[in-house]
Amino acid sequence: MERNKSLVAVVDDDESVRNAVHGVLRSVGLKTQTFSSAEEFLESGQQTETGCLITDVQMQGMTGLELQARLAEENRRIPIIFITAYGTARIRAQAMEAGAVDFLGKPFNDEVLLQTVHTVLER
């Protein structure tokens, strides 16, 4: 039986966004951990505990889409919610076709984010 993956990982190179998302998630009692880059998340070893990944599309170094592809290559099926200020229809389609569960524009609605995270964690 697979162990409970209750961690919500937040990967964004913008500290204010990381802190805001972390605060929203913590306010409803969710276990969260923040990472300033995709590389930091990959090096953390937290993938096995992560039940939901929230990441930006545009980041320094590895992008959110590249992180999504890397996790797929490693056969890690972590549900991903993208948040971005640079969401073109093409990028949104690429993310969703690759298995993202949602794609939210910045600024995003806290309630929509929380509802999506809860839906993912209840699966």
Residues 45-75 pLDDT 10s = 999 999 999 999 999 999 999 999 999 999 9
Domain spans of the chain, in order of start: 7-122
Q: What is the pLDDT of residues 67-98, one digit of tens each?
A: 999 999 999 999 999 999 887 899 999 999 99
pLDDT of residue 1: 29
Residue pair 108/119 in contact by the 8 Å Cβ criterion: no
CB atoms within 10 A of CB 70: 15
> Any idea which architecture 7-122 has in CATH?
3-Layer(aba) Sandwich (3.40)
Q: Residue 2 — pLDDT band, cuts 50, 70, 90?
A: very low
* Backbone phi and psi for residue 95, each to the nearest 5 degrees, phi listed first: -65, -45
**CA gap 32, 21 in Å, rounded:** 9
% pLDDT > 70, the chain: 97
Q: Which amino acid is at 80?
A: I
5 versus 8: the higher-pLDDT residue is 8
**Chain mean pLDDT for the chain:** 93
3-class DSSP assignment, residue 20: helix
| CA 6, chain centre distance (Å) | 13
Q: Which of 53, 56, 116 lies closest to 86, judged by CA?
A: 56
